[in-house]
Amino acid sequence: GAVVSQHPSWVICKSGTSVKIECRSLDFQATTMFWYRQFPKQSLMLMATSNEGSKATYEQGVEKDKFLINHASLTLSTLTVTSAHPEDSSFYICSARSDRSSNQPQHFGDGTRLSIL
Amino acid sequence: AQSVTQLGSHVSVSEGALVLLRCNYSSSVPPYLFWYVQYPNQGLQLLLKYTTGATLVKGINGFEAEFKKSETSFHLTKPSAHMSDAAEYFCAVKQYGDKIIFGKGTRLHILP
C-alpha cells in the first residue's frame, strides 16, 4: 500500500517552455503533498507543501510564480515549472501523506528528472 | 534550528561485513528521526523511524538504528551487507510541523 506515482519520470525540453509534473497517490487519499528538489549528489530540499484545496506554502527562496503547485484533488498534485531555463534542471520528487497530522509518514514518488536545453 | 550531519559521503564495505552509517542531529526538543534509502533515479523509501519509546529501532531489509540522546546520534547499522544494499542513504530529522530536514546523504558501496 501507500504508492505514490510521478509522471513523467524523465523530461527534456527547450528553454522557455513550461513543464508539468504530476504526482498521484494510487491507493490512498493524500491530504498533504510535498515537492522536493534534488541537485546531483546532494540532499532533498523542500520546495513547498500543499494541502488539498488550499494554496501551497512555499519555502523561503522558492519562487511561487515560477513553480506553480496545484492540489485540486485528494489524489493529484501538479508542479508546473514555468518558462524553464537550464538552471531549473534537476530531479524533482513529490511525497504524499494521508492526513494533515504531521505524525503520519510521507510516501515518496520515484521522482522526475527534468533537463532543460 | 534543526540540522543533520552524515559523516562520510561515501562508505565502502565488503559483502557480508558490518554496515555502519553515521548520523548526528541537532534539535532543541526531542526529534523524530528517519533513515531513507534511495536507489538511482528513484524516490526515497523509508527504512525506519524513531518517534518515541524504544531507542533501538528495527527497520526493513535487516537495518536498525539506535537513538542516543546523549550523543545526539542515530547511526544506521546492518550486521551483514548484501550487494543489493548499495544505494544512497539519507538521515532526516523532523521537529515541529511538516518540514523534514535531510542530511546530505551517504553512498554505500558493497565490495564483492
pLDDT in tens, B60-80: 999 999 999 999 999 999 999
Contact B41 A110 (CB under 8 A): yes
| DSSP reduced 3-state for A105 | coil
pLDDT in tens, B19-71: 999 999 988 777 889 999 999 878 889 999 998 888 999 999 999 999 999 99
Say yes or no: B18 contacts chain A, CB-CB below 8 A: no
DSSP state of A106: P
pLDDT at A42 (0 to 100):
81
Indicate the residue of A107, A108, A111 with minimum beta-carbon distance to B41: A111
Indicate the residue of A41, A103, A111 with minimum beta-carbon distance to B43: A111
Q: How far is CA B57 from the centre of its chain?
A: 11
pLDDT at A1 (0 to 100):
67
pLDDT at A39 (0 to 100):
85
Angle subtended at Cα A28 by Cα A25 and Cα B45, rounded to the nearest 5 degrees: 60
Mean pLDDT, chain A, rounded, equals 91
Contact B41 A43 (CB under 8 A): no
Asked whether residue A101 carries a pLDDT value surpassing 70, the answer given is: no
Mean pLDDT score, B2-9: 90
End-to-end CA distance of chain B: 41
Residue A87 phi, psi dihedral angles, 5° rounding:
-70, -10
The pairing of strands A57-58 and A76-81 is unpaired
All three cell numbers of A83, joined, read 518558462
Indicate the residue of A43, A102, A109 with minimum beta-carbon distance to B43: A109
Residue B102 phi, psi dihedral angles, 5° rounding:
-100, 145
Q: How far is CA B76 from the centre of its chain?
A: 5
| DSSP reduced 3-state for A87 | helix
Report whether B93 contacts B36 (CB < 8 A): no
Edge to edge, the sheet with strand A76-81 lists A4-7, A19-25, A76-81, A67-73
Q: Which positions in chain B touch A106 (Cβ < 8 Å)?
A: 100
All three cell numbers of B30, joined, read 526531542
Report whether B79 contacts B58 (CB < 8 A): no
**Is omega for the bond preceding B79 within 30 degrees of 0, making it cis?**
no
Residues of B numbered 42-71 whose beta carbons fall under 8 angstroms of chain A's beta carbons: which are they?
42-46, 49, 51
